[in-house]
Amino acid sequence: MTWRGRSWLPRPPLDWNPVLWREWQRRRATLLTTITWTIYVLLASVLTAKAAFTDHGPSAWYTLSDAEREFPTVVNASLVAIGLLLLSVTSVTSLVEERDRGSLDVLLSTPLPSWHILMAKWLATYRSVLPLAFFPALLAYVLAPAGGAWPDVLRMLGLVLAYGAVITSLGLGLATWIKRPSRALTMSVTIYVLVSISWLPIAMLSERLGFTGFFLAQASPFFMVRELTQAAL
């Protein structure tokens, strides 16, 4: 069952990239996907509002418990981590569905360059990253000191968009190289989860690894978003 909702992004022109125009026209989220993303947006809205309206000013800092101080950082990091996990799934299924229907062979037989087709698939999947970056950037703006919010917002936007680009590329690459859909999906999710939680053992070995450990931990979206949010407080 599919949900016939329209994309909220502007429709690309047909003469620029016909495959991309087709992706914008054709792609419809399943009802399960729509429900999942709706729950994500509602949860993100509630948690972001709670974190934003908690007083983290200098006068309140000493009266907050450790959990309250960490709440905004955990909210931002968790929302990004969960959103990118969903992206690691959709980036694989977008190409798998095309192959299952047999329409991928039709596209490859057209005179269009292969990079046109690949770019269209990539952009159609990557558009899901834009809403993921909204809530972390909004919270960074609210939490930042007066007059100095925009650098934090831009850093947060750039970070989430960069992680989204990597995960989109990884998912499409795995879907291209691995013919079995279930295996490609499992690989995509497994790689993402392992990278995301890698900062935990690295943090435990921080004294031994030093700067190398911090550098390796930057591969984790949870760790980096948490660090940027903490820096904005």
Six-digit token string for 126: 């990557």
Residue-averaged pLDDT of the chain: 77
How far apart are the C-alpha atoms of 107 and 63, rounded to whole Å? 61
pTM (predicted TM-score): 0.79
DSSP string, 172-227: HHHHHH---HHHHHHHHHHHHHHHHHTHHHHHHTHHHHTHHHHHHHTT-HHHHHHH
Tell me, rounded to whole angstroms, the distance of Cα 156 from its chain centroid. Answer: 12
The CA distance from 119 to 133, in Å, is: 21
Give the C-alpha separation, 207 to 66, whole Å.
23
Give the pLDDT band of residue 158 (cuts 50, 70, 90): very high
What total of structural domains would you count in the chain? Answer: 1
Residue 205 within a domain:
no
For residue 192, what pLDDT is reported?
Answer: 92
- pLDDT bucket at 2, cuts 50 / 70 / 90: very low
- Domain extent, residue 32, equals 18-193+220-232
pLDDT of residue 178: 85
How confident is the model over 4-34, as pLDDT tens digits? 444 555 666 666 666 776 776 665 566 777 7
- Cα 133 from Cα 156, distance rounded (Å): 8
198: in domain:
no
- The pLDDT value given to residue 53: 77
Structure tokens of 78?
């968790």
**pLDDT beyond 50 at 122:** yes
- Position 87 in a domain: yes
The pLDDT score that the predictor gives to residue 12 is 67
Whether 2 maps to a domain, the answer reads no
More confident residue, 122 or 55: 122
Which tokens sit at 165? 């680009």
pLDDT for res 82: 92
Q: Indicate whether 203 belongs to any domain.
A: no
User: Does a structural domain hold residue 199?
Assistant: no
Token pair belonging to 62: 């000493």
- Of residues 101 and 123, the one with the higher pLDDT is 123
| Contact indicator for 83, 40 with CB cutoff of 8 Å | yes
The pLDDT, as a whole number, for residue 163 is: 93
Considering the domain boundaries, does residue 12 fall inside one?
A: no
- 134: in domain: yes
Selection from 48-52, 142-146, 229-233 with the highest mean pLDDT: 48-52
Q: Looking at the predicted structure, is the pLDDT value of residue 174 above 80?
A: yes
